[in-house]
Structure 1
Amino acid sequence: MTVTDGEKRDRVASRLLKSSAEKFFDPEVDMDWDAPLEDGKAWLPEHRQSLYGTKLWDKLTPEQRIELGKQELASILSYAIYAECWVGMMFLRSVTEGDLIGKRSQYALTETGEEARHSTMFAQLLCKMGVEPYRQPKFLLYMFRFISFVPLGPFAYGSVMLVEEILDRAQREAMNDPTIQPHVRQVMRLHVMEEARHIAFARDEVRRGMESRGRIRRAPHRFFLALQAFGVFPNLVHPSIYRSVGINPLRGFIAARRGPHYKANLQYFCEPMARFFVDVGMYEGFLTKKLWRMSKGLPDDLI
């Protein structure tokens, strides 16, 4: 008997639903929020911080480097809350516009709940850190609204990967680093365990969506994903973080972008995702390739 594409998708959703039930984490229960922070512990690995390797970094004291890492983490967590709220809205759209009660819709609802818990966990960590969140500029919030009207498909699920896979790659490295604050490592560990399901679901949807479309119908999905990647990467680290160590935001932003490790770090975070996009046909067309090259997130051997 031939298995239809819809049945294959339901099988993937059923497997992920079972995994969600068996490997469920609640930050209220699984995190010891009352435990004190540890003095002298870093918030991010030094070699992954935006100014690492620059002349501005060399002028910072050890205490300033820790503070800058703290603010950089706060910026990333703040962006992640925005992004996961958008992901939740997209999944709710997929339910209301699709099969309301099918396995795929059930998993979409399950993932929406998990993303909400992750955002709550990030908010709790920001409170524990004692820092204010970094808000995105209004024009980007308007862009989020615009994207909400874009038809669901490879672009939408590729957008999920842009945030989830970058965070996943960074967190897998940091959560095993004993020099990082224990609260941060535990948050990263819980997030990675559940995000593995989300990434698997998004990859399956992107691959199936691209396979079901011809070259012309693929084009807008490729272009808008590349355009979003070009905009997402610089916004993960808010320029205002540099004020915490007495550096002008514009000067810090330029130094970070021109730094010797900016491109290498971005390629490290993006490599598994970028290779997947190339494999499924998301990296085709002149404008798409131009935007990806400008974003600096594509490994050199794929350019």
Structure 2
Amino acid sequence: MASSTVRPEHEDRPEEHDVARRLLASAAMLAYDPATEVDWETPLDKDFHGTSPEWSTLYGTAYWREMTDAQRKELTRHEAASVASTGIWFEMILQQMILRDVYAKDPAGADVQWALTEIAEECRHSIMFARGARKLDAPAYRPRRLAMELGRAFKTVAFGEAAYAAILVAEEVLDVMQRDWMRDERVVPFVRTINNIHVVEESRHMKFARAETRRHLSRAGWLRRRIHALVIAIASYVIVTSMVNKDVYANAGLDGERALAEAKANEHHKAMMRSSCSGLMDFLASARLLTKPALVFYKRAHLI
């Protein structure tokens, strides 16, 4: 009687594993330990900004022109801390979605080993962001309650392209900002180091998210693609609008109500967001995820 051979699961998806193997090799060659790479000991120098000033939500407004240089720097430090805190929130969501995705897969597969490597990097990033926010003398900024509950639901039910495309949106939006901040000598040095570490390691995560989004979409029918396009857009809207907490203005010593109103109407910041997301929108368009209902939320978030 002829015997049959059962092929291991990881042999059935060669292209997927080629990507994972390349990313594992990259992680082995270039990875950072924030505990030793970041200067945590030098006291905060308040002569520096927390972000590039042009990325401040008030840059270009009447209020910005009235602010002193010290106030501008204080505001950007609080904004940087808020973005870091939002990053921690979404990285926790990301880790749970990835773990759920690989839960029943062959642990010998390169894709599972890469997923665990990515989770390890995200854990280090979250600790790094938390320490960075504290060093910026900022409180623990958290997303509003509705966003927290939506995130709780999303991480529980999102799967396939909905999970990976949402991961990609969060990573790409933050990546564009941080590439500017890490090169800007006006930004406090330890924050520049944090941004550099995150940009280098997140470039691997974005490659994997793009590959997984395309792979899952290759099996998606018309209805599933339409539903997930809207889910991804809503998740993107919640993530992007949660990046800068409304409390940063009062905590920076400003008139909170006036600052929030001017930030919401700030055309400069909206233009920065749109220009920075052009590559991301091109990818979503190529994946046929920019449906008319989805575009409503991307436009409201000023991503397109």
In the alignment, does 2:21 pair up with 1:14?
A: yes
Equivalent residue letter for 1:294: R
Unaligned runs of at least 5 residues, structure 2: 1-10
* Aligned counterpart for 2:60 among listed residues 29, 53, 56: 53
In the alignment, does 2:102 pair up with 1:103?
A: no
C-alpha root-mean-square deviation of aligned residues, in Å? 1.6
Distance (Å, rounded) in 2 between the aligned partners of 1:277 and 1:239 = 29
Decide whether aligned partners of structure 1 residues 86 and 191 sit closer, same or farther in structure 2, where only a CA change above 3 A counts: same
Matches within 5 A, 1:142-291: 142-284=149-291, 286-291=292-297
Partner of 1:138: 145
Distance (Å, rounded) in 1 between the aligned partners of 2:229 and 2:12 = 22
Equivalent residue letter for 1:90: M
Decide whether aligned partners of structure 1 residues 151 and 79 sit closer, same or farther in structure 2, where only a CA change above 3 A counts: closer
Instruction: Tell me if the contact between 1:155 and 1:221 (Cα under 8 Å) persists in the aligned partners.
Output: yes
How much has 1:151 moved relative to structure 2? 4.0
How much has 1:174 moved relative to structure 2? 1.3
Distance (Å, rounded) in 2 between the aligned partners of 1:138 and 1:231 = 11
Equivalent residue letter for 1:92: L
Instruction: Tell me if the contact between 1:158 and 1:206 (Cα under 8 Å) persists in the aligned partners.
Output: yes
Instruction: Tell me if the contact between 2:170 and 2:236 (Cα under 8 Å) persists in the aligned partners.
Output: no
Decide whether aligned partners of structure 1 residues 230 and 118 sit closer, same or farther in structure 2, where only a CA change above 3 A counts: same
How much has 1:5 moved relative to structure 2? 7.2
Matched positions, count: 294
TM-score, normalised to structure 1, is 0.92
Distance (Å, rounded) in 2 between the aligned partners of 1:5 and 1:53 = 54
* Aligned counterpart for 1:294 among listed residues 286, 296, 300: 300
Alignment deviations for residues 59-116 of structure 1 (CA, whole Å, 9 cap, x no partner): 2111100000111111101100101111111111112143444211111111001000
Percent same amino acid at aligned positions? 32
TM-score, normalised to structure 2, is 0.92
Instruction: Tell me if the contact between 1:230 and 1:294 (Cα under 8 Å) persists in the aligned partners.
Output: yes
Distance (Å, rounded) in 2 between the aligned partners of 1:297 and 1:151 = 22
Instruction: Tell me if the contact between 1:10 and 1:103 (Cα under 8 Å) persists in the aligned partners.
Output: yes
Unaligned runs of at least 5 residues, structure 1: 299-303
Decide whether aligned partners of structure 1 residues 32 and 230 sit closer, same or farther in structure 2, where only a CA change above 3 A counts: closer
Partner of 2:3: none
Alignment deviations for residues 123-166 of structure 1 (CA, whole Å, 9 cap, x no partner): 11122222211022232222122112224111101111121111
